[in-house]
């Protein structure tokens, strides 16, 4: 099976109306690999604007709450994202886990709700530097995956993003071989715990200081099906990352 390459741009808590407009204009005017699925995740306040102006990709929310509505001040529902035209949501990002204290069980609940609402999900997994140095990478990643497997059966609308926490925003990056090793382990876990068809079909993105200089080599690996890009998605080099397969 040939899995379509996917590149996501997580803009995090960055931008203004002006800079968002500039980012969208840059993407719209760029020559992009037409075989790559492009998804951008702007701050919630700008989602509607990006949906209305972006011509070359889809739009994701950066997070949701696990309920449809109610007295949850400051939260955003999956239904709200759909209402303004978003098609995806990013869940389980390491910053949600390690800055805001979200655990795998609560994140899995969000994943289930998002899928039930009709959103596609980029589900982030990954280990800290201490966990990697303690040889706990697969144990940590598998626990994060199992939390979702406990509450969903259909993975067809889920893309997994492996993001080693030690390589996010640090300038450090996993070698292509390190990325492939974990991606392969994730695919094998899916085969063992879900089924072989899901393992073959599920796209696994790499996220962790991806840039124009390293994307081509990492993207060549057999089990790397795309990139989840943070800081570089706010720069012109995001175009080069999207075009890494050319």
- Integer Cα distance of 28 and 54 in angstroms: 7
- The stretch 23-34 carries a mean pLDDT of 98
Q: How confident is the model at residue 209 (pLDDT cuts 50, 70, 90)?
A: confident
- The stretch 70-98 carries a mean pLDDT of 98
**How many domains in the chain?**
1
Question: Is the residue at 46 inside a domain?
Answer: yes
Question: Is the residue at 108 inside a domain?
Answer: yes
- Determine whether 49 is exposed, middle or buried from the number of CB atoms within 10 Å of its CB (0-12, 13-18, 19+): middle
Query: Is 152 a residue whose pLDDT tops 80?
Result: yes
pLDDT at 104: 98
Question: Is the residue at 238 inside a domain?
Answer: yes
Active-site residue list? 93, 163
Helix (H) or strand (E) holding 203: none
Which residue in the block uniquely carries the two structure tokens 């808590």? Answer: 13
Question: Is the residue at 168 inside a domain?
Answer: yes
The least confident of 3-7, 162-166, 169-173, 239-243 is 169-173
Question: Is the residue at 34 inside a domain?
Answer: yes
pTM, entire model: 0.97
Question: Is the residue at 205 inside a domain?
Answer: yes
CB 5 within 8 A of CB 221: no
Q: How confident is the model at residue 165 (pLDDT cuts 50, 70, 90)?
A: very high
pLDDT at 169: 76
Query: What is the CATH number for 183?
Result: 3.20.20.70
Question: Is the residue at 1 inside a domain?
Answer: no
Query: Is 150 a residue whose pLDDT tops 80?
Result: yes
Question: Is the residue at 91 inside a domain?
Answer: yes
Residue 92 structural domain: 6-242
């Amino acid at each position: 099976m040939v899995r379509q390459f996917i590149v996501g741009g997580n803009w995090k808590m960055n931008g203004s109306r002006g800079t968002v407009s500039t980012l969208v204009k840059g993407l719209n005017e760029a020559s992009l690999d037409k075989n790559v699925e492009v998804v951008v995740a702007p701050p919630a306040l700008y989602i509607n604007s990006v949906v209305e102006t972006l011509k070359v990709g889809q739009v994701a929310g950066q997070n949701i709450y696990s309920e449809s509505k109610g007295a949850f001040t400051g939260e955003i529902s999956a239904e709200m994202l759909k209402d303004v035209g978003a098609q995806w949501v990013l869940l389980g990002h390491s910053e949600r886990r390690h800055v805001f204290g979200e655990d795998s069980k609560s994140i899995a609940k969000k994943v289930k709700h998002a899928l039930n609402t009709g959103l596609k999900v980029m589900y982030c997994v990954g280990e800290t530097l201490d966990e990697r140095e303690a040889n706990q990478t697969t144990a940590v990643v598998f626990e994060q995956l199992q939390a979702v497997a406990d509450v969903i059966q259909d993975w067809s609308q889920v893309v997994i993003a492996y993001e080693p926490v030690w390589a996010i925003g640090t300038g450090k990056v996993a070698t292509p071989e390190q990325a492939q090793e974990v991606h392969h382990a994730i695919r094998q876990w899916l085969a063992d715990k879900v089924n072989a068809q899901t393992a073959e079909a599920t796209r696994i993105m790499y996220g962790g200081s991806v840039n124009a200089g390293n994307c081509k080599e990492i993207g060549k690996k057999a089990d790397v099906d795309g990139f989840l890009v943070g800081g570089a998605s706010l720069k012109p080099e995001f175009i080069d990352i999207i075009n890494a397969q050319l």
